[in-house]
Amino acid sequence: MSQQPDDSPSGYRIKCWLDRSLAVLISLNMLALVLVVLWQIISRYCAIPSTFTDELACLQMTCVALLGGAYTFGQKRHLAIDILYGMATGRLKQGLDILIQTGVFLFAAIVLVYGGSQLTLIVMQSGQISPALGIPVSYLYGLLPLSGLFICGYSLLFLLLPEPTNGTDR
C-alpha cells in the first residue's frame, strides 16, 4: 500500500478499503477472543461459573479464521502451488493469472457465497439457537458468504487492476 488513496485509481482505493475493513474486523475479534479466553481462565481459577466463554471463543475463532483467510488472499500471502506460474513468463503468465483468479472467483462465488447463503437460510429457517449464547446459529453461518464476498471482491480487483511493478512477481 505505497500509494495514497487520494492520488490512486478507484480500484486501489477499493482494495485499501477492503484491506482496512477486514483488518479492523479481524483485530477486534482477536482482541475480544483474548479477553474471552482470559476471562475463562480467571473464572476457572476463581471457581466462578462461566457458561458462555467456550462457545463465544469458538465463534470468534471461526470468525477470525474465515475473515483472516479472505484477508490473506487479498494480500497474496495465501498458500499457493505456483511451480508452473513461477516458470511462466509474459503472456503465459498473464493467462495463468487470469485462469487462477477466475477459478478462485468462481469457487468463492459458488461455494462460499451461494452455498454459504443457502446454508445460512436453511439454518435460519430451522430456528436453531446457540445453547450458551442464546443467539441464532445462522449468524455463524453468515460468515461463509461474507468471507466469500471479500474473496470475490479481491479476485475481481486482481483481474481488473494492473499488478504494481515493485520488482516482485507474486
Q: Is residue 169 part of a domain?
A: no
Query: Would you give the end-to-end CA distance of the chain in angstroms?
Result: 15
Q: Is residue 14 part of a domain?
A: yes
SS3 80: coil
Count structural domains, the chain.
1
Q: Report the predicted TM-score, pTM, of the whole model to 2 decimal places.
A: 0.83
Q: Is residue 167 part of a domain?
A: no
pLDDT in tens, 10-28: 778 888 999 999 999 999 9
Residue ranges of the chain whose pLDDT lies below 70: 1-8, 163-170
What pLDDT does 21 receive? 92
Q: Is residue 83 part of a domain?
A: yes
DSSP state of 164: P
What pLDDT does 6 receive? 47
Q: Is residue 168 part of a domain?
A: no
127 dihedral zone (left: phi>0; alpha: psi -120 to 50; beta): left
Domain of 107, in residue numbers: 5-160
Q: How far apart are CA 24 and CA 62, in angstroms?
A: 16
Nearest in space to 100 (alpha carbons), one of 116, 121, 83, 113: 83
Percent of the chain with pLDDT over 70: 90
Q: Is residue 107 part of a domain?
A: yes
pLDDT in tens, 68-78: 999 999 998 88
Q: Is residue 133 part of a domain?
A: yes
Mean of the per-residue pLDDT values for the chain? 87
Q: Phi, psi at residue 108, to the nearest 5°?
A: -65, -40
